[in-house]
């Protein structure tokens, strides 16, 4: 029997503990010795509360029980994101985690909708989304499995306290054999010949050696930036926001089953309902507003009293040229950052972890597996980038320089082509894997004012009367089913009530 691999995880934020939990569920103990080093002195980034539906797949893969995790992390459910004032001031649309309508005669719903709309026979596209109607009415229930039923056409994600989630995963990973080492890394040792990292050195003098090092050190990017010098591809020309100010506030009822994102003069504000509090933040571009002004603006906009002082964070949009080099793999903020507009960071952590488990290496890295890992991670980053740019670019706001600049900026060719295909034909590319599915693109295009001029000719195979009749039935069906769902707050209180923190004496 060969010796187990020695894997060292550098950092214990969300990325570090998600990696540890996945390795605990798959290889720790049997095929690998897994150690995680973190420093309480340095701490974690301490934000990150909204997720995507894929997170449930990760938890299921690892073997986490949903209600238990939700109780431990003060979590609520999320069916989508409301975008206020994005296309123009006064507008509101929801990006749902679910379908718009159902295909008719083999033709996607969007084409029938455009056709009916052009004939003056269709209602707003939101009417035909189960997830959106549930959001608008503040309701939640689990989707059913029967694909014939309209309440099978959506998925859900979580709002959670990411710090508590990391703690929860630690409680899961340690009993399964992951060893935690507390300490600050002050030096990294490398092999002269290969350049591979051989050990990290702690302030205490202890040296921790390994076959592989997973860089989960956050914005510090201890291995990828500071040691290996892997170049950072800067995307801030397209995504100019470079700071955020965050502040928690008291819980507000009713508890929305969606995240809210409101466009402001120099960026946008998030609002995320948890069981014990509401998470808030203003993501902004420092060319257009100062830290102090952004903090005051955020505090003015809160819908409940603040529970702490606002905290400013700095970042730059982009990613490293690769996320696996030599015997080091970057997961989380050490590999790149895209602002939290579509809650994609934890998802990108998950992508890297799942790719790593599928391409799990032997004693020496295999160049073919490394190349495939980098390809998988890179294309996910690139697609998320295009989707985020779309939100900024497709606006008709005229109230500030940021929005004018974004509207006029040249966008990547990949995005320009996507927008053109949608405008001409209502066409949205369907990916086999990864983000984002057609309803996501449709919601943002249409929510921000880009409507298709044409539709698939096959849509005419069914008569207009048949199509509009089915659309009416669908809308009625959605309305009555949604009315029967429990209120979101009641569902959470019943399914996963968290212990609320004690009030100060």
> Does residue number 333 form part of the binding site for ligand FAD (CB under 6 A)?
yes
> Is there binding between residue 216 and ligand FAD (CB under 6 A)?
yes
- Provide the b/e sequence for 47-84 (b: ≥16 CB within 10 Å): bbbbbbbbbbebbebbebeeeebbbbbbbbbbbbbbbb
End-to-end CA distance of the chain: 59
Q: Where are the beta strands (DSSP E) in 288-414?
A: 311-314, 318-320, 324-325, 328-330, 336-337
Contact region with ligand FAD (CB under 6 A), list: 47-55, 321-329, 353-361, 477-485: 47-55
Tell the smallest beta-carbon distance from residue 120 to ligand FAD (Å). 40
Q: Which residues on adjacent β-strands are paired with residue 279?
A: 248, 272
| Among positions 26, 49, 227, 415, the unique one binding ligand FAD when judged by CB under 6 A | 49
Q: Is 71 a catalytic residue?
A: no
Minimum separation from the CB atom of position 251 to ligand FAD (A): 17
- CA 185 to chain CA mean position, Å: 29
267 binds ligand FAD (CB under 6 A): no
Q: Does 345 bind ligand FAD (CB under 6 A)?
A: yes
Residue 426 engages ligand FAD in binding (rule: CB under 6 A): no
* Interface with ligand FAD (CB under 6 A), residue from 48, 257, 361, 365: 48
Neighbours of 398 (CB within 10 A): 10
CB 238 within 8 A of CB 407: no
Using CB under 6 A, pick the residue from 7, 28, 44, 211 that binds ligand FAD: 44
- Spatial contact of 412 and 389, defined as CB atoms under 8 Å apart: yes
Q: If 0-12 CB within 10 Å is exposed, 13-18 middle and 19+ buried, where does residue 333 land?
A: buried
- Please identify, using beta-carbon distances, which residue of 122 and 160 lies nearer to ligand FAD: 160
Is 15 among the residues that bind ligand FAD (CB under 6 A)?
yes
Question: CB of residue 202 vs ligand FAD: minimum separation in angstroms?
Answer: 8
Which letter does DSSP use for residue 25 in this model? H
Residue 220 makes contact with ligand FAD by CB under 6 A: yes
Instruction: Give me the least distance between CB of 416 and ligand FAD, in Å please.
Output: 27
The strand order across the sheet containing 5-10 reads 179-182, 32-38, 5-10, 212-215, 328-330, 324-325
Catalytic residue among 78, 147, 176, 201: 78
Residue choice 7, 13, 69, 212 for contact with ligand FAD (CB under 6 A): 13
Task: For the CB of residue 16, give the shortest distance to ligand FAD in the complex, in Å.
Answer: 6
Q: Extract the tokens encoding 436.
A: 């984002």
Considering the complex, state which of residue 49 and residue 211 has its C-beta at the smaller distance from ligand FAD.
Answer: 49
- CA angle 308/273/352 to nearest 5° reads 95
Residues that bind ligand FAD (CB under 6 A): 11-16, 37-39, 42-45, 47-51, 162, 184-185, 216-218, 220, 222, 244, 246, 281, 313, 315, 332-333, 340, 343, 345-346
């Amino acid at each position: 029997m060969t010796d187990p691999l020695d894997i060292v995880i550098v950092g214990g934020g969300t990325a570090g503990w998600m990696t540890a939990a996945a390795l605990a569920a798959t290889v720790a103990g049997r095929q690998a010795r897994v150690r995680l080093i973190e420093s309480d002195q340095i701490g974690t980034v301490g934000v990150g509360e909204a997720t995507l539906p894929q997170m449930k797949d990760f938890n299921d893969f690892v073997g986490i029980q949903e209600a238990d995790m939700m109780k431990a992390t003060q979590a609520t459910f999320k069916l989508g994101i409301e975008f206020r004032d994005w296309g123009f001031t006064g507008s509101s649309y929801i990006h749902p985690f679910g379908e718009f309508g159902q295909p008719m005669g083999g033709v996607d719903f969007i084409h029938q909708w455009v056709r009916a709309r052009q004939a003056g026979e269709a209602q707003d596209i939101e009417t035909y989304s189960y997830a959106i109607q549930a959001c608008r009415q503040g309701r939640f229930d689990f989707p059913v499995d029967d694909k014939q039923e309209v309440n099978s056409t959506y998925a859900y994600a979580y709002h959670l306290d990411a710090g508590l989630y990391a703690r929860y995963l630690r409680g899961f990973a340690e009993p399964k054999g992951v060893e935690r080492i507390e300490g600050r890394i002050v030096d990294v040792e490398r092999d002269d010949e290969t350049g591979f990292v051989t050990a990290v050195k702690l302030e205490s003098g202890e040296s921790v050696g390994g076959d592989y090092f997973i860089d989960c050190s956050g914005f510090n990017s201890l291995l990828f930036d500071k040691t290996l010098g892997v170049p950072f591809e800067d995307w801030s020309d397209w995504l100019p926001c470079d700071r955020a100010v965050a502040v928690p506030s008291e819980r507000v009822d009713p508890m929305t089953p969606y995240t809210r994102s409101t466009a402001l003069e120099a960026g946008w504000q998030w609002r995320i309902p948890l069981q014990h509090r509401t998470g808030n933040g203003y993501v902004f571009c420092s060319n257009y507003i100062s830290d102090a002004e952004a903090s005051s603006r955020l505090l003015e906009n809160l819908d409940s009293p603040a529970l702490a002082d606002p905290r400013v964070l700095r970042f730059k949009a982009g990613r490293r040229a690769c996320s696996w080099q030599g015997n080091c793999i970057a997961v989380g903020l050490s590999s790149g950052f895209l602002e939290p507009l579509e809650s994609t960071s934890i998802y990108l952590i998950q992508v890297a972890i799942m790719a790593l488990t599928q391409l799990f290496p032997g004693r020496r890295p295999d160049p073919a597996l490394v190349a495939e890992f980098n390809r998988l991670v890179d294309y996910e980053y690139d697609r998320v980038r295009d989707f985020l740019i779309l939100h900024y670019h497709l606006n008709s706001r005229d109230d500030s320089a940021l929005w004018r600049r974004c509207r006029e900026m040249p966008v990547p060719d990949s995005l320009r082509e996507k927008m053109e295909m949608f405008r001409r034909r209502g066409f949205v590319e369907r990916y086999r894997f990864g983000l984002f599915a057609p309803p996501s693109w449709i919601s943002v295009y249409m929510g921000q004012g880009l409507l298709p001029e044409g539709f698939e000719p096959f849509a005419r195979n069914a008569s207009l009367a048949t199509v509009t009749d089915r659309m009416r039935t669908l809308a009625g069906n959605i309305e009555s089913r949604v009315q029967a769902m429990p209120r979101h707050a009641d569902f959470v209180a019943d399914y996963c009530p968290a212990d609320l923190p004690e009030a100060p004496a």
